[in-house]
Amino acid sequence: MADSLNSLVQHFGTQASSSQPPRNTAYEDTPPITAGQSDADSHYIPRPKRIACVLCRRRKLRCDGKRPSCGTCSRLGHECIFDEVRKKSGPKRGYVKQLEARLAQVETLLKSQETRIWSTQGNGLIVPATNDSPDAPGAFPQDDVSMSSPEGATDPALSVQVFQQTRASSRAENEGELISLGLEEPLPTREVIDELTTIYFEKVYPGMPMIHRARYLAATILAPGSRPPICLQYMMWCHAASVTDKYSSLHNIFYLRARKYAELDELKGFGECVVTLAHCQTWLLITTYEFKMMLFPRAWLSAGQAARLALMMGLNRLDGQGLDVKKTLLPPKDWTEKEERRRVFWLTFCVDRYASVGTGWPVTIDERDISTNLPASEESFLQNKPQQSISLSEAQNGGDISLLSPFGGVVVLACMFGRNITHLHRPDPGDKDHDLTGGYWQRHRALDNILLHFALAMPSHLRLTVATTDPNVIFCNMAIHTATICLHQAAIFKAEKNKMPEQIATECKRRCILAADQISNIMKMISHLDLSIMNPFMAFCIYVAARVFIQYLKFRPDDSAARSSLQFALSSLQALKERNPLAESFIAQLDLDIGGTAFGDIRDGKACFTSRIPSVRTSFPLQEKLLTDDSLGSCKW
């Protein structure tokens, strides 16, 4: 290694000497300069080197070197000492051997990474298209290499040599960056990264407001070890690519890479590397993407991953007192960091409820274990203005909700979905379904009262107007009516199964059709907005409303208003499926339900995707049970 290091030094020394421009012989015959031309230069005397005294050297002050006491020590009245013995300079003993060992290690890493890094160019993956690519034609134009002779002519051989050296240097820097980040493939170019990040915060963040934009952007320019995890960055780029045409072909690649690096982080050490807020955010983004792409088994497991991480970090008890448990996170540095933790937990809570309402399987997070306040307003979060927020129980039990944020409203309605699941799937011996005073009907009336009170007491900034553009406000209003439909569909089934008075089922059906009509009106109000920024689970709300219209039309096929509402619901799902493939699954199910009916002529031929879309009957068994023909009863609407 020492011989190779010496030969490398000699090689660069030869290149450095050869890179000097050739001496021009035209100036060798010039007569010497006369004394009259430079009298001042003839009197130049070189200044002797001075040694700074110990005090000036320690304080890093300029020392005039006067003996026996310099000017600084004389002025300050200190004893002036000059140390004539210079400290030995140069590397410490054994440093060269350590350097050689490190160079050998780097060479081994580069050789092992080279094949995998540059073989991805032929696989359609992202490869830097600028100077980072060693084989990019024209990456270093020859015109930019200015190595001219005295006569102004360019030496072609020298220009090519410099180009090759510069290209190799750029390649080495790129590979070094990959090694320092622990990556196996090049990242997108800086321009692509910046554009995808901007798209994420403009179109994806409004529906999932859990990442502080300013702090995230500031962290991305830190040292590699202090940046956000690469799995989180890839997942943000994945969501951004999925809502834009320009990068729509890349979202699946980003998703696969995000999952790969998230799973690799779990295998590091004892798994402690994943106990971070950023990894919980990553799994939330993964879960939402998998639901959108109809990867339902993966989405269910990813939702559990995010929920367990949130509980492990104690995000469910940020504002309450209780028995001390294991602390896995340091205390938040300020209010904004604590608010970001709140938002991550509540989004985890919402995803857990959405996953359960779509399958009927039990929820993971128990309400009784929560002592974290609801999220504050968006303005206070982004501008670091502390704001007092209320708890979930206060919002549902008649507390002051005048300061409830739009995201907080979404959380309250997600909680109602969860309570409805518990209400239906945790039977009690005292339910007495046939008795209006039994436990089942008492829970039904209690949940219905909470929904009615929340709808009536909702503050003005949560009410939907023509000028509303906040996706959380829109989804909050749709979720109220969706929860109402889910609650009363089950009541219809119970009432008719137990042959209870007909007015009970009739009233529940009336509530269902009114709620479905409200969902249709909301969609008409927001039809001019960009649907890519809406909550991904909004398609489920439209599907539930469309099922109500279908069952209504089976008994009143000539009702023009219901036919129009159903047709608009189908058109809305068609528009949503461009950015949210989950809507295609709902369209396929509705297409099957409409087939063979008297109003089957309103079907759009393009809506039939049953050959390639997972059936909603297998993906969402709970709603299939709640929205069957039997549950709507045999009596006329």
Asked if 241 and 200 touch (Cβ cutoff 8 Å), the reply is no
**Cβ neighbours of residue 333 under 8 Å, at least 6 residues apart?**
none
pLDDT in tens, 203-237: 999 999 999 999 999 999 988 888 999 999 999 99
pLDDT in tens, 302-317: 999 999 999 999 999 9
Hey, which residues does 154 pair with through a beta bridge? 148
Top pLDDT among 104 and 134 is at: 104
pLDDT band at 261 (very low <50, low <70, confident <90, very high): very high
Top pLDDT among 331 and 152 is at: 331
Residue 557 is predicted with a pLDDT of 86
Average pLDDT, integer, range 251-267: 95
pLDDT band at 3 (very low <50, low <70, confident <90, very high): low
Distance between CA 156 and CA 146 in Å, rounded?
11
Give yes or no for residue 159 having a pLDDT over 50: no
Burial status of residue 106 (CB atoms within 10 A of its CB: 0-12, 13-18, 19 or more): middle
Asked if 310 and 343 touch (Cβ cutoff 8 Å), the reply is no
pLDDT in tens, 58-85: 888 888 888 888 988 988 888 898 877 7
Average pLDDT, integer, range 254-283: 94
Backbone angles phi, psi at 148, to 5 degrees: -100, 150
Asked if 329 and 314 touch (Cβ cutoff 8 Å), the reply is yes
Q: At what angle do helices 251-266 and 277-292 cross, to 10 degrees?
A: 140
Give yes or no for residue 86 having a pLDDT over 50: yes
Average pLDDT, integer, range 506-510: 93
Distance between CA 417 and CA 479 in Å, rounded?
9
Amino acid at 18: S
**Least confident interval from 338-352, 550-564, 618-632:** 618-632
pLDDT band at 323 (very low <50, low <70, confident <90, very high): low
**Least confident interval from 243-257, 261-275, 321-335, 543-557:** 321-335
**Least confident interval from 432-446, 572-586, 599-613:** 599-613
**Least confident interval from 46-55, 520-529, 627-636:** 627-636
Kindly list the structural domains of the chain, giving each domain's residue range(s) and its CATH number in brackets, ordered by start.
Answer: 52-82 (4.10.240.10), 190-350 (no CATH), 427-626 (no CATH)
pLDDT in tens, 361-397: 899 999 999 999 999 999 999 998 999 999 999 998 8
How high does pLDDT run on average in the chain? 79
Counting Cα atoms < 13 Å in the Cβ hemisphere of 15 gives 12
The DSSP annotation for 137-168 comes to TTSS-GGG---B-TTS-B-HHHHHHHHHHHHH
Give yes or no for residue 322 having a pLDDT over 70: no
C-beta pairs of 434-440 under 8 Å, 24+ apart in sequence: 434/498, 434/499, 434/500, 436/500, 436/504, 440/494
Asked if 515 and 481 touch (Cβ cutoff 8 Å), the reply is yes
SS3 386: coil
pLDDT band at 115 (very low <50, low <70, confident <90, very high): low
Residue 93 is predicted with a pLDDT of 72
Top pLDDT among 482 and 615 is at: 482
Hey, which residues does 148 pair with through a beta bridge? 154
Residue 57 is predicted with a pLDDT of 86
pLDDT band at 610 (very low <50, low <70, confident <90, very high): very low
**Element spanning 3, H or E:** helix 2-18
Asked if 505 and 492 touch (Cβ cutoff 8 Å), the reply is yes
Average pLDDT, integer, range 309-337: 86
Which token pair is 285? 């983004």
Residue 622 is predicted with a pLDDT of 40
Rounded-to-10 torsion of CA 259, 264, 265, 269: 160
Asked if 550 and 570 touch (Cβ cutoff 8 Å), the reply is no
pLDDT in tens, 4-28: 445 544 444 444 444 444 444 443 4
Look up tokens 């003839």; give the residue: 42
Give yes or no for residue 611 having a pLDDT over 70: no
Which token pair is 505? 């089922």
Residue 107 is predicted with a pLDDT of 83
Give yes or no for residue 418 having a pLDDT over 90: yes
Residue 142 is predicted with a pLDDT of 36
Q: How far is CA 446 from CA 150, 168, 417, 419, 434, in A?
A: 93, 72, 14, 11, 18
Rounded-to-10 torsion of CA 33, 38, 43, 46: -70
pTM: 0.69
Residue 181 is predicted with a pLDDT of 58
Amino acid at 455: A
Give yes or no for residue 31 having a pLDDT over 70: no
Q: What's the farthest any 2 CA atoms get from each other in the chain?
A: 126
Asked if 589 and 617 touch (Cβ cutoff 8 Å), the reply is yes
Residue 346 is predicted with a pLDDT of 97
pLDDT band at 190 (very low <50, low <70, confident <90, very high): very high
SS3 530: coil
Nearest Cα to Cα of residue 356 among 448, 486, 480: 486
